[in-house]
Amino acid sequence: DDPRSRFWGRNAGAAAYVAKERARTELVPEVERVLNVAQTSMLPVARRAGRRAQPMQRLSEVLDQLLFRAVVSSEVRRLIHHTSDRERFCKGLVNIASEVADYSYLVLRLDGREGPTYTIHARAPLPEKPDPLVLRALQIPSGPALKLQIERETDEIAPPGTRVVIRDMADFPVEAASEPLGELKAFGARKRLGGEDRQTLELIATETGLLAKNVFLLEETRRLANSDALTGLMNRRRCTETLESELTRAKRYKIPFSVCICDVDHFKSVNDRFGHNMGDEVLREVARALESVLREADAIGRWGGEEFLTVMPETGLEGACEVAERMREAIASIPAFEAGPDKVTSSFGVAEYSEDANGAMLVDRSDQALYKAKEGGRNRVVASDKE
């Protein structure tokens, strides 16, 4: 009834496999089924006696262990098909580990450009939303930016406040060519971790290294395809896709949303006076300032040159202007640049979605409002009249 035996029973190539708790009801029907579909040889097996018995038994055990490790490695390597989806990959990996090792909790951490992600597989009680004490017991840092998914052996969810008491812990690094990529940790709550379980989890962590590297490479490829190389924000293509997606959602659910275009004031003079390298540095600082004040639901990208486009879902014109004002203040607060401009300001044009508008029309309204902001003296926010 242990996970390792169940895994081996399903993958050893036998004609049938019956779990221990189902033997009473399934054993005889399974035997009858096998006898009906196959010619079973009942020739006696010659028993080896004397001195050869022990070496042959030991050899059989070694071969079984090698075959077991080969099957586990093969199962892990099959996850190469899921490395384009980190969440699915992590879920598949902890599910394989749960079939071949016994533990109370398993935690997989994969690092990445935007911080680590954690996947927990729980056999022992675990609350639906683990509190900081539970996370600390499982050596997971708590905080608002925590990215966590939980897989459970059963549907049973422990009530809030349930404590996690750890008796034993083992950790196994996930790396490729000595590059650290994450970690696999097993925790024993009811009993200590077995030696075979530790060896099996170490094998899984070793096999995971190259697959995790593939996950990171695919994520980086997607990021580069969707990001502006200079600022790290969305590029224009991704901005357009986000805009059209929110437009479709607004039409379907009859909800508001707004867009805002930001243009850095007198940017040409920055390039002319201080050089293009300084101009690039100004744009990077402006991008960081814009991101620092945006809400989690907002999306921002570099629209082109010194222009930035912000999409604000479920936000009317008044709320969008408030967000734009915070962005304007953030840019105006950028400290003076060494060997560069003392102050940077920007102008903003804001427009709200209307049912008759498409993406191009909405951007055009924002652009017209931006033009009015520049005509009015720059370093200000102007809202478009809703047409």
Amino acid at 191: K
Q: Which position has the higher pLDDT, 145 or 284? A: 284
Q: How far does Cα 268 stand from its chain's mean position?
A: 40
**Residues 257/312, Cβ–Cβ less than 8 Å:** yes
Q: What is the pLDDT of residue 210?
A: 95
- DSSP tag of 127: B
Query: Looking at the DSSP assignment, which residues form a beta bridge with residue 382?
Result: 349
Q: What is the pLDDT of residue 333?
A: 97
Number of Cα atoms under 13 Å in the Cβ half of residue 340: 20
State pLDDT tens for residues 167-199: 999 999 999 999 999 999 999 998 899 999 999
For residue 19, is pLDDT > 80? Answer: yes
Dihedrals φ, ψ of 340, to 5°?
-150, -165
What average pLDDT is seen over the chain?
Answer: 90
**Residues 347/373, Cβ–Cβ less than 8 Å:** yes
Cβ atoms < 10 Å from Cβ of 169: 17
Under the banding of pLDDT at 50, 70 and 90, the label for residue 386 is: low
At which residue do the structure tokens 């398993």 appear? 106
**Pairwise CA distance, residues 259 & 313, whole Å:** 9
Dihedrals φ, ψ of 176, to 5°?
-135, 125
Dihedrals φ, ψ of 170, to 5°?
-140, 140
State pLDDT tens for residues 267-310: 999 999 999 999 999 999 999 999 999 998 999 999 999 999 99
For residue 265, is pLDDT > 80? Answer: yes
Q: What is the pLDDT of residue 53?
A: 53
**Pairwise CA distance, residues 15 & 10, whole Å:** 10
Q: What is the pLDDT of residue 66?
A: 83
**Residues 322/226, Cβ–Cβ less than 8 Å:** no
Catalytic residue positions?
A: 306
Q: What is the pLDDT of residue 270?
A: 96
pTM of the model: 0.69
In this prediction, residues 13-24 reach a mean pLDDT of: 81
CA torsion sign for 126, 131, 137, 140 is positive
Residue 286's alpha-carbon distances to 7, 133, 203, 303, 350, in angstroms, are: 55, 39, 47, 13, 18
Q: What is the pLDDT of residue 43?
A: 45
State pLDDT tens for residues 233-249: 999 999 999 999 999 99
In this prediction, residues 336-341 reach a mean pLDDT of: 95
Q: How far does Cα 215 stand from its chain's mean position?
A: 10
Dihedrals φ, ψ of 83, to 5°?
-75, -5
Under the banding of pLDDT at 50, 70 and 90, the label for residue 138 is: very high
State pLDDT tens for residues 314-323: 999 999 999 9
